[in-house]
Structure 1
């Protein structure tokens, strides 16, 4: 390698190290500022962590907020510390402002760390939410597309803290029904089954999760449900069993496979 090239490389590395050092310094300064701000907050004994105010952003859509909700909605790299301090000094984890409990907001943003902190502080995993349209927090976690990469973790977290795996929505669906019908992933179905979700729960028209799986022709999910003991002989409101439903929907191979289990 020519000397000039070596000098150029050394210069580039020095520049990179300087940039990294500047970034680390800036980060440390921001952490120190946040710690100082939180320390000041803690020193003010009269500060109310549940103080209600009105947020006018965006214009024309005012909404009530608390410091806890503000913290949850903040940048992920900063909000955990703020949430932790607020909860430590009396913020109510189940305080509903507007139409959404703090825990629902944490789940909606896919923030596992804050959701766990709220649950540890007493947030109710079964607390209802107007925006849920009759669905539980567990089902909302299954439904949401805003945090697909953390969906499985959130489902597991809700179950770990006692979410009712068999709670039904207004249409009679449980989390297992919705996961099958909306094709939310065989991994989530497996987690629900390992949490002892009712595999034969009946929704509208006596639909079971197995019947939903054969309706949409999902062989992998059908196999998983059958392997876990789904009842093949249960009948839809119109009298059809799972194999007959599969045949009606044109899934002939799937129907034939189910027939072998009935012999």
Structure 2
């Protein structure tokens, strides 16, 4: 009898805890959507986990960066309890989203909090190159980002810059030493990416780099 009563009390307490947690989670994501830093500061002070994910597995900080809710993003990054490598269901990190959106200062802060500059698969440099964000690309390279990082299908940051970024991003990567000869699993090079995307300026940059590379080769094809 006593054991059954204890079980009932435990079940009720757990149910109340779950309801409270769901309520806090709802308020957490509303604050993000509204970029309501006052509400977020109150929630964090009350003990809400800054690493909370929504029902689709999207972490709060990733969502804040994606939504452009930068006041809330700064609060979350400043939280001592933040785990900066809390990723979404497709293994994307907050630093990757900051790189894609061009949030230089927040990218710096995340790196200072030990966010991973290099990771298997898609990397922050891929995302910065896709957005053509030169300052973030330089920051990542200064922090020893692997310039020829390969996505799961072998795509490099140079390929992403050539297809989606800007000629300036292509030029930066070439001058920083990106391998212009690499191909992904479909056999496509960065030049192929630029041609398919009809990026004339990037095509010209790649063709010039390839000609220069051929001129540097010795009689036996060696540097």
TM class by shorter chain equals 0.5 to 0.7
Question: More relative contact order in 1 or in 2 (CA 8 Å, sep 6+)?
Answer: 2
1:198 aligns with 2:146: yes
Rounded Cα–Cα distance in structure 2 between residues aligned with 1:52 and 1:256? 58
Q: Deviations over 1:27-48 (max 9, x none)?
A: xxxxxxxxxxxxxxxxxxxxx9
**73, 77, 95: which is aligned to 1:115?**
73
**119, 123, 138: which is aligned to 2:95?**
138
> 1:174, CA displacement in angstroms?
2.0
> 1:92, CA displacement in angstroms?
2.1
Query: Given that residues 142 and 175 in structure 1 are in contact (C-alpha distance below 8 angstroms), is that contact kept between their aligned partners in structure 2?
Result: yes
Rounded Cα–Cα distance in structure 2 between residues aligned with 1:237 and 1:95? 36
User: Secondary structure of 1:51's partner?
Assistant: helix
Change (3 A) 1:91 1:196: same
TM-score with structure 2 setting the length: 0.64
1:254 aligns with 2:206: yes
In the other structure, the counterpart of 2:84 is: 125
TM-score with structure 1 setting the length: 0.56
| Higher radius of gyration, 1 or 2 | 1
In the other structure, the counterpart of 2:21 is: 52
What count of residue pairs does the alignment treat as equivalent?
Answer: 192
Q: Deviations over 1:203-233 (max 9, x none)?
A: 2553322344456795422321122222345
Rounded Cα–Cα distance in structure 2 between residues aligned with 1:213 and 1:103? 25
Give runs of aligned pairs for residues 1-263 of structure 1, distance below 5 A: 51-53=20-22, 65-74=25-34, 76=35, 79-99=36-56, 100-119=58-77, 120-130=79-89, 133-143=90-100, 151-168=103-120, 172-180=121-129, 182-214=130-162, 218-237=166-185, 251-252=203-204, 254-262=206-214, 263=216
> 1:239, CA displacement in angstroms?
6.7
> 1:199, CA displacement in angstroms?
0.2
Rounded Cα–Cα distance in structure 2 between residues aligned with 1:192 and 1:234? 21
Point out where structure 2 has 5 or more consecutive residues left out of the alignment. Answer: 1-16, 217-223
Change (3 A) 1:259 1:204: farther
**Range 194-203 or range 111-120, more displaced:** 111-120
Q: Deviations over 1:2-59 (max 9, x none)?
A: xxxxxxxxxxxxxxxxxxxxxxxxxxxxxxxxxxxxxxxxxxxxxx9x92346xxxxx
